[in-house]
């Protein structure tokens, strides 16, 4: 499938079957993560690949809303970065997340972004600090997001031309 078809077909998937993600697919996702471009080629990110059910269950409670479905995913990729290594680590991690989501689609897997940066676990603990404790991440890193991945329970309708907000495109001048 070409890249435009992949982009049209990728829809957030929050319901997964029980089947595991194959070792080959995990390998492809690791390659895609590490090939994502970064400013000045700084590569300030790290990717924690989580398949352990108990850890996924704990991570699904990172924030009060919008993460619970991670407990039923076969794989969660926690994307972290060291802000000391790049002033644009947020952009770098977002690009890697998009690479991962499109690669998942190419592998016929479903995925969904779970926002962690700027989100709270509780009144006294950020979602990022909660996650770092669970996976033993160094204090120098911040968690940007988690990408939940698994086999889709069902296919969603691909995007088509009716979905496009064409007035968001400006040609030459406002
Ligand atoms: C920066 C960002 C943060 C997101 N955070 C969450 C989230 O925390 N939980 C969730 O269920 N979906 C999250 N999503 C998924 C969006 O809700 C979804 O991409 C959007 O509704 C468009 O639907 P689509 O992915 O099917 O095109 C996030 C997406 C982006 C790009």
Q: What is the pLDDT of residues 48-83, one digit of tens each?
A: 999 999 999 999 999 999 999 999 999 999 999 999
pLDDT, position 171: 98
pTM: 0.98
**Integer Cα distance of 20 and 37 in angstroms:** 28
Domain at 16-153: CATH code: 3.40.109.10
If one residue of 11, 65, 112, 146 were mutated to test the ligand 1 pocket, choosing by the most ligand atoms within 8 A of its CB, it would be: 112
* Cα separations in angstroms, 139 against 22, 42, 133, 148: 31, 19, 9, 23
Nearest CA to ligand 1 atom 29: 113
**Integer Cα distance of 61 and 56 in angstroms:** 9
H/E segment holding residue 148: strand 142-150
């Amino acid at each position: 499938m070409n890249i435009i078809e992949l982009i049209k077909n990728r829809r957030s998937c929050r319901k997964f079957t029980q089947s595991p993600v194959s070792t080959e697919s995990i390998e492809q996702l690791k390659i895609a993560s590490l090939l994502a471009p970064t400013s000045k080629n700084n590569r300030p990110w790290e990717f924690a690949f989580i398949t352990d059910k108990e850890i996924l269950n704990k991570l699904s409670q990172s924030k009060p809303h919008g993460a619970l479905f991670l407990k039923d995913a076969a794989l969660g990729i926690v994307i972290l970065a060291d802000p000391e290594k790049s002033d644009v680590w947020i952009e770098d991690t977002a690009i890697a997340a998009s690479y991962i989501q499109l690669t998942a689609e190419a592998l016929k897997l479903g995925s969904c972004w779970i926002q962690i940066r700027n989100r709270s676990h509780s009144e006294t603990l950020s979602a990022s600090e909660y996650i770092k404790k669970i996976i033993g991440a160094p204090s120098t890193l911040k968690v940007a997001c988690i990408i939940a991945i698994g086999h889709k329970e069902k296919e969603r309708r691909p995007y088509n031309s009716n979905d496009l907000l064409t007035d968001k495109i400006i040609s030459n001048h406002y």
